[in-house]
Amino acid sequence: MASTQFTLFTLGCGSAKPAPPHQPSSTVLAIRNNLYMIDCGENAQSSFAALRLKRTRLSHIFITHLHGDHVYGLPGLIDTLALSGCTQEITIHTFREGADILYRIFKFFSPNLPLKISFNIIEYADAHIFDDDNVSVRTVALDHRIPDVGFIFEEREHPRHIIPEMIDRYAIPYSEINNIKRGADFHTPEGIIIPNAELTTPPAPPVSYAHISDTAYIPDLAQRIGPVDLLMHETTYLNDREKDAAARGHSTAAQAAMTARDAGAKALLTGHYSSSYRDLLPFLKEAREIFPNVILNKELLTLSLPL
C-alpha cells in the first residue's frame, strides 16, 4: 500500500535572477498534515497561496544557505502569517548568522508577532538536526561559495494496519488498539494469545526525500545521501557549461543524474535553473542519458510520494 501522506510542492525552482515562469527557490513538504518549507525565495508566499496550502499548518522552515534568492521571501511570509492571525510556533533551521539577521528583521518590521518564532542553529556539517513524530531530518555539507547544506527528510515508521474484522471477532477493546498497531499480540480474557500477524497487515514503507540545492558536483555526496525515494538535486547548467558550474558552485544536469544514480535514488527532480535557459527539455534529455527516472521541475508542481 502506498503512502498518501507525503507530498512535495514546488513554489519556485529558478536561480538567483527571476526569469518568468520561474521564481526563486522554495519547496514545501506536506507530511501527515504538517508543512515543512525548504528555503523561501521571493514570491514564495504567492505560490503558497496558489497551491491552497494552509498557513496554520506551517511549522518548520529549513534554510539551505544565506544567499538572497533562498531567504528574501521569508520576512514577507512571516508578516503575512501574522496579519492572517496565525498563532502557531514556527521553527527556522538556519546557521547562526541567519538567526541573528532574521531576528533583527522580524523585530524591526513585525514587533508584535502573534507567532512564536524560534531558531534551531545548524552547522556546516553532516549531522542529525531534527526529529518529530512525522520525520527525522539530517544535513549534508555541500560545496558552494558560502556554507550550504542539503536536507534529507526520512519519514517515521508507520504503525501497522489493524484489520477491522479482527476487532469484532476478538472483541478487542479500544485501549488495546494502539499497542496492537505498534506490533503487540492480543491476550484474550481467557488467556489465549492472538499473534499480531493475524490481527494486522504491514504498514506502508516510510518515504525519504533529499533536497540538494546550490552545490558543485561532489563525487562522494551520493554515498552520504544514501538511497531515497526522491532526490531534488540542483541542475543550474547543462554539461556544455560544466566549467561555469564548477566556478560558481553549481552542478549540471548530467552531474545531478550521476549523483542520483550513485545514491540509489528512485527518482531525480531537477531545479534551480539558470535564467539563461528558456527551453528546459535539454535538462531532461541530458539527465536521462545517465539516469532514466527524471522529473522536470516547474512552479506549482505537486508530487505525492512514493511515486
CATH class belonging to 6-158+204-305: alpha beta
Q: Are 122 and 139 in contact (CB under 8 A)?
A: yes
**Catalytic residue list contains 143:** no
C-alpha cell of residue 122: 545548524
Beta-carbon contacts of 121 under 8 Å, excluding residues fewer than 6 positions away, are: 94, 95, 96, 99
**What is the tens place of the pLDDT at every residue in 286-306?**
999 999 999 999 999 999 999
pTM of this structure = 0.90
Catalytic residue among 39, 69, 148, 229: 69
**What is the tens place of the pLDDT at every residue in 25-74?**
999 999 988 999 999 999 999 999 999 999 999 999 999 999 999 999 99
Residue 211's DSSP bridge partners are 151, 232
**CA-CA distance, 131 to 32, in Å (whole number)?**
14
Q: Are 283 and 238 in contact (CB under 8 A)?
A: yes
Q: Are 8 and 305 in contact (CB under 8 A)?
A: yes
Residue boundaries of the structural domains of the chain: 6-158+204-305, 161-201
pLDDT band at 4 (very low <50, low <70, confident <90, very high): low
